[in-house]
Amino acid sequence: ASAATPIVKPLPPEIFEVYGTNAETRWEALSGQGCLTPVERFFVRNHTATPSIDACTWRLKLFGTGLRGGPVEFSYRDLLGLPAETITSALECAGNGRSFFSSQQGQVVSGTAWKLGAIGVARWRGVRLSTVLAKAGLTRHAVDVLPEGLDADHVTGGVNLGKVRRPLPIAKALQDVLLAYEMNGRPLPPDHGHPVRLVVPSWVGISSIKWLGRIEVSDTPLVSPWNTQYYRLLGPDYPADGTVVTRQVVKSAFELPWNAEFVAGGRQVLRGRSWSGNGRIRRVEVDTGAGWRQAKFVGAAADRGWQRWEIPWRSGVPGAHTLRARATDITGATQPDVTPHNAQGYLFDAVVRHPVRVV
């Protein structure tokens, strides 16, 4: 792919909002969709551009001090021959909701100004990372793995940070991480990591390395700019070198455009979705201007996906109105009114004020 087309799939403006090499899903484009995000509507976050990789010549190489022997390689066919597993899991950028630090809290943050569309939920099929690690000769002394992408080096501010890569503690690597080769029942599409990507459930999107090429397995802790410089909570409220970002937080969104229009006095049903890296959603409340009311769940609760919900609303007098949704997950974590500031704008979990117009 050339620099002019960093994303391969079509990006219709009614479905995506595009920022350079990244595209977020418009929430109104999920209205009427089921619990999975179709590939054609799934957000894309590319540090550079989507590479074109031939599954027939592709190899995954594992190496490092956490393995008993030398490097081990797997072909695409090798992976297809190993026991497969299918999971439903959300994939969400750590910076999803970042624009609200500025628009709701008046705070300065760096990074892509996502609204709430840097999330999707898919069915992922592949091989457990634990299976591949065991086959490669994992020792008891391994502490970290470092998956690395085959896309171009990431160059920022004149500095080459090398291949996109981020260490994962061995405990998480062995728990529920998948080497995925299918998304929603089809081979993984180019923009989402063809032929094989990592899917790290409940953790921030940067963990789920696309276009996987190599995995270092180490008996000493590993670092990369994506866990030292980026994807840390930095600022006065945090330790001097920040806190590493891992698990996702609880969020909610309405399946409505910004400034959606409603007819005065009309009766309608408002729909939305809530999700959390801590597990299933327990309760969702909605405020349309007259206090919090409990929303009704639609469909089964998903541990690693999202909870769809709906609530009736009789729109009032003409003018500007604000809709708010607030979710609580199984751990009791509830969306706060304000997210503590961090310089790079990660993990925004505060209740979002969604503007609508009654006409």
What is the binding site for ligand MTE (CB under 6 A)?
42-47, 91, 93, 149, 151, 164, 192, 205-206, 208-211
**Which residue's Cβ lies closest to Mo ion?**
93
In the bound state with ligand MTE, the residue whose beta carbon lies nearer, of 46 and 227, is: 46
From the CB of 355, what's the least distance to ligand MTE, in Å?
A: 26
Residue 214 binds which entry of ligand MTE, Mo ion, none, with Cβ cut-offs from 5 to 8 Å by kind? none
197 contributes a contact to Mo ion by CB under 5 A: no
From the CB of 207, what's the least distance to ligand MTE, in Å?
A: 8
**Which residue's Cβ lies closest to ligand MTE?**
149
- Helix (H) or strand (E) holding 130, with range, is helix 129-135
**115: which DSSP letter?**
-
Of the ranges 100-108, 161-169, 174-182, 206-214, which one interacts with Mo ion (CB under 5 A)? 206-214
From the CB of 29, what's the least distance to Mo ion, in Å?
A: 20
Q: Are 307 and 297 in contact (CB under 8 A)?
A: yes
Applying the rule CB under 5 A, the residues between 87 and 106 that interact with Mo ion are: 93
Applying the rule CB under 5 A, the residues between 29 and 58 that interact with Mo ion are: 45
How far is Cα 359 from Cα 354, in angstroms, rounded to an integer? Answer: 16
Bridge partners (DSSP) of residue 244 are 232
Residue 149 binds which entry of ligand MTE, Mo ion, none, with Cβ cut-offs from 5 to 8 Å by kind? ligand MTE
From the CB of 206, what's the least distance to Mo ion, in Å?
A: 5
In the bound state with ligand MTE, the residue whose beta carbon lies nearer, of 230 and 309, is: 230
Distances (CA, A) of 316 to 266, 267, 296: 8, 10, 21
In the bound state with ligand MTE, the residue whose beta carbon lies nearer, of 101 and 262, is: 101
In the bound state with ligand MTE, the residue whose beta carbon lies nearer, of 47 and 341, is: 47
How far is Cα 242 from Cα 219, in angstroms, rounded to an integer? Answer: 24
- Helix (H) or strand (E) holding 32, with range, is none
In the bound state with Mo ion, the residue whose beta carbon lies nearer, of 64 and 345, is: 345
From the CB of 293, what's the least distance to ligand MTE, in Å?
A: 33
**Cα-flanking dihedrals φ and ψ of residue 187, to 5°?**
-55, 145
Residue 349 binds which entry of Mo ion, ligand MTE, none, with Cβ cut-offs from 5 to 8 Å by kind? none
From the CB of 20, what's the least distance to ligand MTE, in Å?
A: 12
From the CB of 139, what's the least distance to ligand MTE, in Å?
A: 27
205 contributes a contact to Mo ion by CB under 5 A: yes
Question: Given the rule CB under 5 A, which residues bind Mo ion?
Answer: 45, 93, 205-206
